[in-house]
Amino acid sequence: MEQLLSNIRIQINENLYIKDPESSNLGSQIVTQGIELIKEIGFEQFTFKKLAKRIQSTESSIYRYFENKHKFLLYITSLYWSYMEYRLVIATNSIQDCTQKLMKAIEIVTGTPENLSLSLAINQLALREIVIEEFTKAYHNKAVDDENKKGFFQVYKRLVFRLVEMIQHVNKDYLYPRSLASSVIDGALHQHYLAMHFQNITDCDSEEKTCQFFKNIVSNQLNLATNEFN
């Protein structure tokens, strides 16, 4: 799997950057160090000026790669969801049994990524933390509809669609396959966030429990398509 991925180029929506950051050393510095910096100080406190100082470059140079920090966040979170999608496909592709396939998918989607060797030397764990802490801000804004039209959330949605398909494959009569899929992906992020900051409103104090919680919900939902409270 490592070899496989190290040769893979992740395609990110072209409108998220001005100049492809993978095309130069400065560009990849911006991405890798930008991730580290956001993880350290949070997206709110993050500025291109601070990043420029850290990589010993200038604000104006960074602006030649990214229009603003919002698009930078969209760029790096798209990277994350791309890696996630890739991992999902690799891990589930060979599984025949559709239920097992779905369960594997939930493991991938709710779990911590291994730090894979990729084209860019990105700190995957830092990136994951950023997604947990900040991704929600990337799509909660007044321009969502416009940005959505431009395909800025394509990768994320494609991941949800993959889960939806797996769910439908297990039980084609289930009434809420899309809500269930989006709930698992967003819910996992939320439970991880709670585990870090609001321990008393979650039971997910370990990776395994988080995974179990969602596997439990999904399998229950799909085995029992109807319930007594309709």
Which residues form the interface with DNA (CB under 7 A)?
19, 23-27, 45, 47-49, 56-61, 63-64, 67-70
Q: Report H helices in 21-95.
A: 25-45, 48-54, 59-63, 69-92
Compute the least distance from the CB of residue 230 to a second copy, in Å.
Answer: 7
Say how far apart CA 192 and CA 175 lie, in whole Å.
Answer: 27
CA distance 26 to 7: 21
Residue 58 binding partner per list DNA, a second copy, none, with a CB distance cut-off of 5 to 8 Å that depends on partner kind: DNA
With binding defined as CB under 8 A, does residue 182 bind a second copy?
yes
Would you say 16 or 109 has its CB closer to DNA?
16
48 by Cβ neighbours in 10 Å (0-12 / 13-18 / 19+) ranks as buried
Contact status: 86 vs a second copy (CB under 8 A): no
Residue pair 109/188 in contact by the 8 Å Cβ criterion: yes
Is the Cβ of residue 106 or residue 118 nearer to a second copy in the bound state? 106
Site string for a second copy, 160-179 (x = CB under 8 A): xx--x----------xxxxx
Is residue 50 packed enough to be buried (19+ CB in 10 Å), middle (13-18) or exposed (0-12)?
middle
Between residues 7 and 227, which has the closer beta carbon with respect to a second copy?
227
Which one, 22 or 36, has the nearer CB to DNA?
22
Provide the minimum distance between the beta carbon of 195 and DNA in the complex, in angstroms, as a whole number. Answer: 29
CA 26, 24, 18, 8 torsion: positive or negative? negative
Q: How far apart are CA 122 and CA 34, in angstroms?
A: 10
Q: Site residues (CB under 8 A) for a second copy?
A: 41-42, 44-45, 103, 133-134, 136-137, 139-142, 144-145, 148, 153, 157, 160-161, 164, 175-183, 186-187, 190-191, 193-194, 197-198, 200-204, 209, 212-213, 215-217, 219-221, 223-224, 227-230
